[in-house]
Amino acid sequence: MTHRSASDAVAPPTDRVPARTIAGYAVGSLGTGGFGTLPGLVLVYFLTDNLGVTAIVAGLIVSLAKLWDVVIDPLIGSLSDRALARTGSRRGLMLVGALTLPVFFILTFAVPIEVGPTVGAIWVLVAFMLTATSFSLFQVPYIALPAELTTRYDERTRLLTWRVVVLTAAILLFGAGGPLLRGLSETPSQGYLLMAVVAGLVIAAGLTPASLAAPRRAERGEPQRVSLGTHYRLAILALRESQPFRALLGTFVLQGLATGTMLAAAQYVATHVLRSEDAVTLLFLALIAPALLFAPVWGRVARRTGKERGYLIASVLFAVAALAITGLVWAPGAWVYLPVALAGVAYAGMQALPLAMLPDVIAHDARASGTDRAGVFSGVWTAGETAGMALGATVLTVILSFTGYIESVGGQTVAQPASAVTGIVIAFSIVPAVLLGASILLLRRYRLRRDDIEADARPAPPADVANEGPAA
């Protein structure tokens, strides 16, 4: 953390963020979108239908690796604040993560099926935990940067809108391209390895330049040394003291759980409901193509109505679309791409708007407390987001286990019982709709508005003016 007086807790308002800055920041989402999408889409399926790992163990592996992030993210956030105070930049941790993540990502899918389910499960667990650690080293400082790049309410929306455009394009690229690369090899294990190598290189191409684009500032100091436990106490303190942060984080976590469950279930819907393993590509096209087109539209909605109202509209729209997908239980067919496309329209807003609201929360807290703890906030945020996405895979595997899903090895085709097919549809529709409903209740408790943020951005008046009373 960096301590500042209340008058300089927020920098003076700046003009429009330069296009070069927006591009340098946004390109990082090419890597974060890839890592956030591809493991969630194929890793559980890789374990159950390639290595023969039982569904509940596969879900546990993915969840343990992601929940490890929940443990370390607040620590990394605090370390990021210390690095900023000491060096004037957050780029050091970001570069370490950017350069190591692709290596560990490739190792995650390099396990040969000959080692058997037990060794394969352990291999994936260790490699994916290392991958997740590298991701946190980049992602936590990356999330903290927008609060430092601009103080303007609408400029933060513009900055994060273009980041979400790149993020959405990355989700499309990895979500549709990953399974296609996997299918280029006749041997499933070789297909997964090819997919991992290409994806790892693209991830590195996004994370590395974004790390180098992290700003430097002139003021530096020597932050006070704190114990390991202090890092976590700072995270708890941030949650306790900022009501807007609690409301926004809770909303985003529940929605991460909903989308994480849908993401993990998509391959199962394609294979066992739509009867085509390749249909997962069409599902992704239906979801992400509208999201890519509508991300700038949500930015305009936010400028007209406020970010929080735009976010509420997007959330309601996604819940309605998810609930409509329930019809797959009775009538599987191509019609499902329509509600998935509607969900894609909403998904763009559900990504761009909360990410644009987070720097508002950070700046408001800095103004109110006189303490710069952007890294602490971003660490807790990333931990919550990671937990939601990780538990999505767990929710799916629990449903699969209770509904009688049958595992297989090396791409074998297995006829699933009707109960398992119904469970897959429930995980892809009803469960996300219920979670979105709960998130909307939390979002209504978010109280920051445009006037609050614009007031924060104005420099405090001089003390003699502020204390000046009416003329006698």
Task: Please report whether residue 464 resides in a domain.
Answer: no
Closest CA to 439 of 253, 245, 301: 253
Q: What is the mean pLDDT of the chain?
A: 83
Dump pLDDT digits (tens) for 276-328.
877 877 887 888 888 888 888 998 898 888 899 999 999 999 999 999 999 99
CATH of the domain at 174: 1.20.1250.20
Q: Is 304 exposed, middle or buried (0-12, 13-18, 19+ CB in 10 A)?
A: exposed
Residue 397, both tokens:
């595997």
pLDDT at 408: 66
Dump pLDDT digits (tens) for 200-252.
999 999 999 888 877 776 555 555 555 556 667 877 888 888 899 999 999 99
Contacts of 153 (CB under 8 A, 6+ apart): 360, 450, 453, 454, 457
Q: Please state, in angstroms and as integers, the Cα–Cα distance from residue 403 to each residue in 52, 270, 419, 425, following that order.
A: 18, 18, 5, 11
Task: Please report whether residue 440 resides in a domain.
Answer: yes
Phi, psi of 246 (to 5 degrees): -60, -45
pLDDT at 51: 87
pLDDT above 50: residue 145: yes
Task: Please report whether residue 465 resides in a domain.
Answer: no
CA distance 45 to 374: 36
Contacts of 215 (CB under 8 A, 6+ apart): 89, 145, 148, 149
**DSSP labels, 232-259:** HHHHHHHHHH-HHHHHHHHHHHHHHHHH
Dump pLDDT digits (tens) for 250-278.
999 999 999 889 888 888 898 889 888 77
Task: Please report whether residue 436 resides in a domain.
Answer: yes
Whole domain around residue 139: which residue ranges?
Answer: 2-213+235-456
90, 77 in Cβ contact below 8 A?
A: no
**Where do we find the tokens 């999408």?**
37
pLDDT at 465: 42
Neighbours of 63 (CB within 10 A): 20
Reported pTM = 0.72
Task: Please report whether residue 227 resides in a domain.
Answer: no
Over residues 32-48, the mean pLDDT reads: 84
Task: Please report whether residue 117 resides in a domain.
Answer: yes
Handedness of CA 260, 178, 144, 362 (dihedral sign): negative
Per the structure, the count of domains in the chain is 1
CA distance 416 to 431: 21
Q: Which residues pair with 409 in a beta bridge?
A: 51
Task: Please report whether residue 386 resides in a domain.
Answer: yes
pLDDT at 233: 81
Task: Please report whether residue 463 resides in a domain.
Answer: no
pLDDT at 3: 47
Closest CA to 150 of 161, 158, 140: 158
> In this structure, which amino acid lies at residue 181?
L
